[in-house]
Amino acid sequence: MSLWGKITGIFGRQAKAWQPIAILPGGSLSMAASDTALAISAVWACCRAIADPISFLPLHLYRRLSDGSRQRAQDHPLYSLLHDAPNTDQSALDFRHYMQMSLLLHGNGFCEIIRAPRGRIIALRPLHPDQVVVARDDAGRLIYKVAGTDRPASEIFHLRGPGDGITGQSIISLARRSFSLASAMEAYGQRFFQSGGRLPYILRHPAGFKNPQDLETFRAAWDSAYNNPDNSHRPIVLTGGIEYQQIGIKPEDAQFLTSRKFQISEIARWFRVPLHLLGELDRATFSNIEHQSLEFVQHCLLYWARNWEMAIHRQLLTSQERKEYYAEFDFSALLRGDYEGRTKGYSALLDRGVLSINEVRRMENMDAVQDGDVRHIPVNMQVFPAGRIPNTTGD
């Protein structure tokens, strides 16, 4: 049964103890599928293209101020968990990378919320998606069955990929055919070159072998002499009337390379990753790569970042804290552009008093200077009196 077919009972309440909503692909199905998919270079590159920036971009917890501005809430216990280390075994980068890879491969990312006696969150420990079953109890509340134990939603941090709104669907499950074809082509290429780049063939013996032992002896000698890469270019010597005949389709006739390139673009389409991030540069230019990188941030990474931010806001902050605090990724490092473009942008913002010298220096990872927090504006700029428009004609 497919993953979608296992998603049942979302709104039903017939179960007395707990009712499964989605039995996530577990055991050999999930682990084998994800491991096989990751062995395809295009899948690995797509997952890394998304998970790497989600893991290394700064993730800050902010406090809203009464004047409409904000400041980093470094005094809040959750700040260091999100920004530095969520537990004693992982850095924030390790934790977010694992959770995002779980999202991409399994459709869901889970971690255990560990609280102090008074309810303060002191650690976040990831769980493998195969260990978790999402369910509803007889009161209709979400529960998480972890290793046979029912856990309330308040104890599990759950990141969901696209799905039914309760659980996410695995891209690996949805794109199984595309990934299987890519895997089959890789396996074919591996076998083809392991056999010395020789097409499949048959050997015809006019009289046949007298007994099975003679056949096995000949087969072993033939394999040792010709069916390995080291001897692939040795001339074939046939005696006793044995004939060599090739069978199968040549790789160029089967459009092997073209098909492999198509599968790379097909896999990239599933993950919404531009081809140049997968090493496919056939149609890439300097200008369109810059635009594609910007579109990748806007149409792919922003979705996953907002997914994290909203999950943190809803699940890790109390109802009272949500009025004051929120989490947000800092994408400025990915949107900086080249040095010339940055300097022109900084000059325009400095001239208009939007930024101070020290704010620009911090963006460029430089130390602050004395009196660098003062903002400047051109001296000839004035505020127009209400209802008056200046005469620009000279009359």
pLDDT > 70 in the chain, percent? 65
Name the more confident of 184 and 327.
Answer: 327
Establish if 351 belongs to a structural domain: yes
- One-letter amino acid for residue 64 of the chain: R
Residues 260 and 144 in one domain: yes
Quickly state the pLDDT bin for 186 (edges 50, 70, 90): low
Residues 283 and 163 in one domain: yes
- The parent domain of residue 364 ranges over 339-379
**Arithmetic mean of pLDDT, 25-29:** 33
Residues 243 and 273 in one domain: no
177-181, 228-232, 308-312 — most confident range: 308-312
Establish if 390 belongs to a structural domain: no
Helices (H), ranges, the chain: 3-6, 27-38, 41-56, 77-83, 92-106, 171-174, 176-194, 212-226, 256-271, 286-296, 302-315, 339-351, 357-363
Residues 262 and 372 in one domain: no
Using the predicted structure, report yes or no on whether residue 43 has a pLDDT greater than 70: yes
Residues 230 and 184 in one domain: no
Using the predicted structure, report yes or no on whether residue 303 has a pLDDT greater than 90: yes
**Arithmetic mean of pLDDT, 182-189:** 59
Q: What is the pLDDT of residue 200?
A: 58
Establish if 45 belongs to a structural domain: yes
Establish if 388 belongs to a structural domain: no
Using the predicted structure, report yes or no on whether residue 177 has a pLDDT greater than 70: no
Establish if 369 belongs to a structural domain: yes
Average pLDDT over the chain, rounded to an integer: 76
- Written in H, E and C, the secondary structure of 12-44 is CCCCCCEEEEECCCCHHHHHHHHHHHHCCHHHH
Largest separation between any pair of C-alpha atoms in the chain:
117
- One-letter amino acid for residue 377 of the chain: I
Residues 92 and 188 in one domain: yes
Number of domains in the chain: 3
Final residue belonging to a domain, choices 316, 335, 354: 335
Residues 228 and 362 in one domain: no
Establish if 394 belongs to a structural domain: no
Establish if 93 belongs to a structural domain: yes
Q: What is the pLDDT of residue 223?
A: 66
Residues 70 and 162 in one domain: yes
**Arithmetic mean of pLDDT, 100-118:** 93
Using the predicted structure, report yes or no on whether residue 78 has a pLDDT greater than 60: yes
**Arithmetic mean of pLDDT, 115-121:** 91
Using the predicted structure, report yes or no on whether residue 113 has a pLDDT greater than 90: yes
Residues 115 and 176 in one domain: yes
Residues 154 and 231 in one domain: no
**Arithmetic mean of pLDDT, 29-46:** 70
Establish if 395 belongs to a structural domain: no
Residues 86 and 173 in one domain: yes
**Arithmetic mean of pLDDT, 18-45:** 57
Q: What is the pLDDT of residue 21?
A: 42
Kind and range of the H or E run holding 154: none
Residues 290 and 147 in one domain: yes
Q: What is the DSSP letter of 163?
A: B
Q: How far is CA 386 from the centre of its chain?
A: 53
